Amino acid sequence: MWGDSDADDDDYADAVIHARNLTQMLRSDPRPYWTRVRELFRSRGVSPEEAVIADTFPDDVDFVFGVVISQNRRVFQFDFEHYEKDVEDGNFTAWRDVTDSYLDKTYALEVQAGLEMLAEQADI
């Protein structure tokens, strides 16, 4: 899909699996991080029940980087921080609409996989 090699196809397949796993956690994981992120998404008009997590990972002890695709196909990059507080009290320190620029980002493959997943959900 992304190039002429099997490695590119494998990378894309891995990105799809990764997005599915993260999205499942977004929707149903009871751990404090996911519960708080669901609350913060809702406060920004993003439905956790319909959105897709393209990527997220810890970038420090109290800091998480992530990319979410909303139900209306908008792509947001977020930074979640809970420095010197419980995860339940953490907040987004960044919330950027990257819909028009994600192709230039290192997570473009993950976003493409997430957009495909969102399209599949719409067909259900």
Mean pLDDT rounded to a whole number for the chain: 92
pLDDT at 1 over 70: no
Task: Answer whether 88's CB lies under 8 Å from 32's CB.
Answer: yes
Place of tokens 């908008």: 74
Q: What whole-number distance in Å separates Cα of residue 34 and Cα of residue 61?
A: 16
| Nearest of 67, 118, 117, 119 to residue 97 by alpha carbon | 67
pLDDT at 2 over 50: no
pLDDT at 124 over 70: no
Task: Answer whether 19's CB lies under 8 Å from 114's CB.
Answer: yes
41-56 average pLDDT score: 97
The end-to-end CA distance of the chain, in Å, is: 23
Say which range, 2-6, 46-50, 72-76, 91-95, has the weakest mean pLDDT.
2-6
Q: What whole-number distance in Å separates Cα of residue 32 and Cα of residue 105?
A: 29
Is pTM beyond 0.85 here?
yes
